[in-house]
A and B are shown apart, each in its own frame.
Chain A
Amino acid sequence: MVDAETSVEGCNRMEHIQVLCFAGTYGLALAAELARGAVQSPWRWRLTLALTVLGWCVQTVYLANLSMVGSWHLPINSAFESVMALSWVVALVGVYLMVQWPRRIAVGVFVLPLVLGLICAAEWFVPQTPDWVAGGGMVAFWGTVHGLFLLFGAVCASLAVVSGLMYLAQSRRLKSKSPGDFGFALPSLERSERFNRGAIVGSFALLTVGLLIGALLGVATRNPDASPAQAIHWNDPKVLSALGMWLVFAVLLHARFRPSMRGRVVTILTIVAFAFLVFTWVGVEALRLPTAHGGSSGAGGPP
């Protein structure tokens, strides 16, 4: 028994070291990116890109290991796994933008803190809850589809926040009329706005489909014999926060296409919507509210 506990503790320590490895690499990439003002050499950009790619590769191996714990599954089977997967996709999009956009644009200054923030949130604040999707069959399949839609919806929401922050920074720079006060270049207002609009539309569509699948799955798998603690009710904290999140995204989408709300208002709403999304995703688990989501007993519920 003592040996088993020691072994689990050892595994956890190993996992923490692995997370520290890729988070540290992303941190170094961020430091290299922030050195833009002081170091003009093209090697600085190459170093930033190389460190980001290296961090992403290490994280890929880490997620592959996670997916092979127990039976093989996509690493979106718990709040912890899905936030890690979210940070992994956001980092990949960041690498793509670093390569595709002109080098003078400081993509990493905005993407890497978000990636690091998500990793830290998963590591420190999200408890290692039991699997949301247990067992196999159609329930597991649709559960995974539900998780994938929400994951990519969250990726779009993350990108909407990144582009929104870029817009705010660029708008502030232009309004203050002081050239180069940040020490790095930003995308044009139009590019940030277009990127933000596309990401909001994408996130709303993906989150809507994901939530619908989740709702249908909840209804289809409702077991009349199940105890109240195991059945998902409409007043379940997870369901209520998801509903609230969907409404905020609907308002955001409406605002996006309302001329009078273009610009700063939409950007601030984007940040609020993303905060709602993060709360819905991990807040319920982090605050240990009683939920029957995913067929598990929930972190705050009875074992």
Chain B
Amino acid sequence: MKLLALGVDHRSAPTTVREALAFNEGRVDEGLDALARAFPGGEFVILSTCNRVEIYAGGGDDETPEVDDLTAFLADFHGVAPESFAGHLVGHHDAGAVGHLFRVAASLESLVLGEGQILGQTREAYRAAVARKTVGPILHSVFQTALRVGKLVREKTGMDQGKLSVASVAVDLACEVFDTFADKTVLVIGAGKMGDLTLQHLKSLKPGRILITNRNPERAEAAANRWRGEAVPFDRLGQALVDADLVISTTAADEPIVTFEQYARAQRARRNRLALILDIAIPRDFDPKIGDLDQVTLYNVDDLRAHVEQNLKRRQKGIDPALLIIERETAACFATVQHQAAAGKVLQQLGNRADQIRQRELESLFASLSQLSDSDREAIARMAARLQNQFLHHPRAAVRSAVAEADPNHPHPLLSAVRHLFGLADGSSKSPIQKAT
């Protein structure tokens, strides 16, 4: 039994190479079908995201493609020269492939450590392969365990907690202050890139109303159209501050545009409702003393960055415990897969041997009783098949259950007992663990 993970990621290859090898939407199915045609009997999953393109292959020793085979396949499928990407490919074999997949699913290999998308993308990749029927017992077992391990690592280490960008931390802060957003008004002062980025994240909270103001009315209008908001003339900033519950300020003004007195007046007009001000402009747009007002929370860009750094440190603390979990799960999963493969081989040999004997005995019987009609022959053949199935039912069930309970470090003695009892050839003289190492 062999396992291979081969591909490129954000560490090993530049964006151009990743783009050239990507299986964009719809092409994953095409790729899986092409792999199944090119390497019959093998099992395949394609994981293609913004930062990685990987093919996971598994199967018997003769059925699993080698690195060169998959390199040639990728070159052929995408119509690119192998030398343009072969140097960027990274391969992992057997237990290494399992461990790599677990690290990917747990987001340890992601560009943003602990990000949550990769687990969903791994699940989608697995589902796509199941739908195209390119997954067999090996990759079923490995991917199902990977999805469980990815979740387990997040639960045990808290690696997915805390956001890692200023804009997404702003969303977290908004949720610390407000409970509902459908009745809230968001005011964006300035129509720059940072405001757009923050609004992009805040849009997920579905605020009731978005106001955008800028010294340049055309830019405010354009941003308002982009975000389905309302453009507000800059000279009406005072009234907009009264209406707004959440303010994002991103202007390039040299001096604060809102003084303490101005905002205190606005806050009185707001009847002292809760307010959150995210002053992400440099230099600052809001007088820092505004943050002392009751019911007002004011964060500037340095405060938000401090949150980001703290979240990153918290995630990094989880790496070592996560690796320990992955190491333990990798050893257990790979041993199980190998046991399953060994048991599958024994069951296949057993079935083949029984089929041979049944076929031989039926032929001999039919040769000696030539007067039998076709229907009699069919009835006898069915009876023999039933007899064979009933006779083998218990040995098969016992082997399957032995695999499920097997000690990861030692092959189950029942497998060699079955081989011995039924006179089957010994296909694996070494133990699975010995082979893995």
Asked whether, in the complex, the Cβ of A190 is within 8 Å of the Cβ of B291, the reply is no
B175 and A179 form a contact (CB under 8 A): no
A193 and B274 contact, CB distance less than 8 A: yes
A174 near B177 with CB under 8 A, answer yes
Residues of B within 8 A of A187 (CB): 179
Stretch from A27-35, A129-137, A260-268, A280-288 contacting the other chain = A260-268
Please determine whether B294 and A190 come into contact, CB atoms closer than 8 angstroms: no
Contact call B294/A188, Cβ cutoff below 8 A: no
B179, A191: Cβ atoms closer than 8 Å: yes
Interface: B271 (CB within 8 A): yes
A259 close to B (CB within 8 Å) = yes
Q: Per-position contact with A for B175-198: 1 when CB-CB < 8 Å, else 0?
A: 111111000000000000000000
Residues of A with C-beta under 8 A to B291: 175
Greatest chain A CB density within 10 A among B178, B273, B294, B303 is at B294
- Between A and B, how many residue pairs show CB distances below 8 Å? 62
Q: Is the CB of B294 within 8 A of A40?
A: no
Q: Is the CB of B294 within 8 A of A177?
A: no
Q: How far is the CB of B94 from chain A (nearest CB, A)?
A: 32
> What residue in chain A is nearest B178 (Cβ atoms)?
A190
Q: Does A189 make an interface contact (CB < 8 A)?
A: yes
Q: Given the complex, which residues of A lie within 8 Å of B179, measured CB to CB?
A: 187-188, 190-191, 194
Enumerate chain A residues within 8 angstroms of B162, measured Cβ to Cβ: 179-180
Whole-angstrom CA separation of A189 from B184 in the bound complex: 14
- Asked if A42 and B272 sit within 8 Å, CB to CB, the answer is no
Report yes or no: B274 in contact with A40, Cβ–Cβ below 8 A: no
A170 touches B (CB below 8 Å): yes
Pick from B157, B175, B271, B295: contact of A188, CB under 8 Å: B175
**How many Å from the CB of B181 to the closest CB on chain A?**
10
From B272, B294, B297, B311, give the contact of A179 (CB < 8 A). B311
A263 surroundings in chain B (CB, below 8 A): 272, 294-295
Cβ of B80 within 8 Å of any chain A Cβ, yes or no, is no
Instruction: Tell me the smallest distance from the CB of A151 to a CB of chain B, in Å.
Output: 29
Is B315 an interface residue, CB under 8 A from the partner? no
- Is there contact, CB below 8 Å, between A262 and B156? no
A260 to B157, CA, bound (A): 44
Q: Are A177 and B155 in contact (CB under 8 A)?
A: no
CB distance from A101 to the nearest CB of B (A): 11
Q: Write out the residue numbers on chain B whose beta carbons fall within 8 Å of the beta carbon of A41.
A: 155-156
In the complex, are the beta carbons of A40 and B177 less than 8 A apart? Answer: no
Q: A177–B303 Cα gap in the complex (Å)?
A: 7
Contacts A40-B156, A40-B158, A179-B307 given; does A262 touch B178 at CB 8 Å: no
A188 touches B177 (CB 8 A): yes
Task: Pick the most buried of B156, B173, B178, B179: most chain A CB atoms within 10 A of its CB.
Answer: B179
Quick one: CB contact mask for A33-76 with B, threshold 8 Å, 1 for yes? Answer: 00000001110000000000000000000000000000000000
- Say yes or no: B297 contacts A175, CB within 8 Å: yes
**What are the residues of chain B within 8 A of A173 when measuring CB–CB?**
176
Task: Flag whether B306 is at the interface (Cβ < 8 A).
Answer: yes
Q: Which A residues, 155 to 188, have Cβ-Cβ distances below 8 Å to chain B?
A: 170, 173-175, 177, 179-180, 186-188
How many residues from A make CB contacts under 8 Å with B? Answer: 24
Asked if B227 lies at the interface with its beta carbon under 8 angstroms from chain A, I say no
Contact partner of B176 (CB less than 8 A), chosen from A40, A42, A189, is A189
CB-CB under 8 A for A179 and B310, given A188-B179, A193-B274: yes
- Cα separation A283 to B331 with both chains bound (whole Å): 65
Q: Is B366 at the interface (CB under 8 A from chain A)?
A: no
Q: Is the CB of B175 within 8 A of A40?
A: no
Interface residues of A in 191-224 (CB under 8 A from B): 191, 193-194
Query: How would residues 74 to 107 of chain B score, 1 for a CB under 8 Å from any chain A CB and 0 otherwise?
Result: 0000000000000000000000000000000000
Q: Which residues of B contact A42 (CB under 8 A)?
A: 155
With A40-B158, A41-B156, A262-B272 known as contacts, the answer to whether A174 contacts B310 (CB < 8 A) is: no
- Once bound together, how far apart are the Cα atoms of A191 and B180, in whole Å? 9
Tell me the chain B residues, 92-126 only, with Cβ under 8 Å from chain A.
none
Asked whether B177 lies within 8 Å of A177 as measured between CB atoms, the reply is no
- Taking A175-B291, A263-B295 as contacts, is the C-beta distance between A190 and B272 under 8 angstroms? no
Known interface pairs A40-B155, A179-B162. Does A188 touch B176 (Cβ–Cβ under 8 Å)? Answer: yes
Q: Please, which residues of chain B bring their CB within 8 A of the CB of A190?
A: 177-180, 274
Knowing A40-B158, A177-B306 touch, does A189 contact B274 (C-beta < 8 A)? Answer: yes
A175 CB to nearest B CB, Å: 7
B263 contacts the other chain (CB 8 A): no
Contact between chains at B176 and A262 (CB < 8 Å): no
Contact of B260 with A by CB under 8 A: no
Distance in angstroms between the alpha carbons of A175 and B157 in the assembled complex? 28
In the bound assembly, the distance between CA atoms of A264 and B292 in angstroms comes to: 12
> When chains A and B are docked, how far (Å) is the Cα of A193 from the Cα of B180?
13
B39: CB under 8 A from chain A?
A: no
Instruction: List the B residue with the shortest CB-CB distance to A104.
Output: B161
B310→A180 contact, CB < 8 A:
yes
Decide: B295 and A262 in contact? CB cutoff 8 A.
Answer: yes
The answer to whether B176 and A174 touch across the interface, beta carbons within 8 angstroms, is yes
B265-277 CB contact bits vs A (8 Å, 1 = yes)? 0001001111000
Q: A40-B158, A177-B299 are in contact. Are A189 and B294 (CB under 8 A)?
A: no
Complex: A296 Cα to B324 Cα, angstroms: 68
Bound CA span A206–B173, Å? 36
CA A194 to CA B179, docked complex, whole Å: 10
Q: Which A residues are in CB contact (< 8 Å) with B177?
A: 174, 188-190
Q: How far is the CB of A235 from chain B (nearest CB, A)?
A: 40
Residues on B with beta carbons closer than 8 Å to the beta carbon of A170: 176
Report the bound CA distance from A162 to B272 in whole Å: 22
List residues of chain B with CB within 8 A of the CB of A264.
294
A residues contacting B by CB (< 8 A) are 40-42, 170, 173-175, 177, 179-180, 186-191, 193-194, 259-260, 262-265
**What would 30 A/B residue contacts be, using CB atoms closer than 8 Å?**
A40-B155, A40-B156, A40-B157, A40-B158, A41-B155, A41-B156, A173-B176, A174-B177, A175-B297, A177-B303, A177-B306, A179-B306, A179-B311, A180-B314, A186-B176, A188-B177, A188-B179, A189-B297, A190-B179, A190-B180, A191-B179, A194-B179, A259-B268, A259-B272, A259-B273, A262-B272, A262-B294, A262-B295, A263-B294, A263-B295
In the complex, besides A174-B177, A180-B314, 7 extra interface pairs with C-beta distance below 8 angstroms are A41-B155, A170-B176, A173-B176, A174-B173, A174-B297, A177-B306, A262-B273
10 shortest interchain CB distances as A-B pairs: A259-B271, A263-B294, A191-B179, A259-B272, A190-B179, A262-B272, A263-B295, A188-B179, A177-B303, A174-B297
